Structure 1
Amino acid sequence: MDALAFFTARLQFQTDVSDVYAAQGEFVLIDSRGHAGWHQGHIPGALHLPTDDIAERAPTSIDLATPVVTYCWGPGCNGATRAAREFAKLGYQVKEMLGGVEYWIREGFPIQTDDGTTRQPADPLTAPLHAITCDC
């Protein structure tokens, strides 16, 4: 595989938190973590669908023509990759959100908890402090 094909394929199947934030409403966002992670905090508007439940619940919950983006904890976890694979097996157009909920939070985007919606300041090591995207 040449470099152009490799990087084109990565962009076809992966996205980042800034792009997900900017394109909300164009896909179904899936939180593939377990119940404890979901209740600790999740991205507003996400659908909680743990990986083990995808094969059974996705066909009755999500139209096959609707694009899907999966996320899990963060870059040290491959849960979003496993969830994306399950959606791909079912024939969905799917992308994995790189960085997971960790980088969503670190970039200053909102999180939904049982107490409401919260937001932390952007981490200057991961995001610009006074802009929504890094423009990279």
Structure 2
Amino acid sequence: MSTLSNVLEFSPADSEVANTFFSNKLSFETDCSDVYADIKAGANDYLLLDVRSKEAFGKSHAITAISMPHAQITAESFAQHPKDTVFVVYCWGPGCNGATKAAKKISALGFAVKEMIGGIHYWEDFERYPVNRNQANAQV
């Protein structure tokens, strides 16, 4: 008697379809490791936005991040940015959809945006990358 694999209950996608899917996925997201590598290398071709509350930002945020709570993202709050500005957004972590909400708003305003998966939780607690604490709430 053969046991049906839970993994293969649904057949894997054709390699061309899978390649398209994963390429598209990477155009929407990045991770803490890539962002930190860019920071260390001095790559500054995007703005890193912490979209949590100002209070959460003040307690701890990724180095170089700017505070912009997702509820405050509007055409007016982004008016000073050229349309070719790229944003990378993050919130608390996998259990939070604040970064997704922010990315939706920012893209609707006509800007390129990526979500940093893992958020500050992965940045600080798992990767142990440097953070700034108890600072004024610098805003975009």
Same fold by TM-score greater than 0.5:
yes
Match of 1:58 in 2: 78
Match of 1:17 in 2: 32
Deviation at 1:19, TM superposition (A): 0.3
Aligned residues, how many?
Answer: 114
Q: State the Cα deviation string for residues 59-117 of structure 1 (Å, max 9, x = none).
A: 22x322121100000111111111111110011111000000011112011110127xx
What is the RMSD of the two structures over their aligned residues, measured on CA atoms? 1.5
Of structures 1 and 2, the one with the larger relative CO (CA 8 A, separation 6+) is 2
How many percent of aligned residue pairs carry the same amino acid?
41
TM-score for both structures, normalised by structure 2: 0.76
Unaligned runs of 5+ residues in structure 2 are 1-12, 136-140
Say whether residues 1:27 and 2:42 are aligned partners. Answer: no
Distance 1:59 1:70 in 2: 18
Helix, strand or coil at the partner of 1:23: helix
Deviation at 1:26, TM superposition (A): 2.2
Say whether residues 1:38 and 2:57 are aligned partners. Answer: yes
Structure number with larger C-alpha Rg: 2
Match of 2:109 in 1: 90
Unaligned runs of 5+ residues in structure 1 are 116-136
Distance 2:82 2:91 in 1: 22
Distance 2:60 2:82 in 1: 26
TM superposition outliers: structure 1 runs of 4+ over 2 Å: none
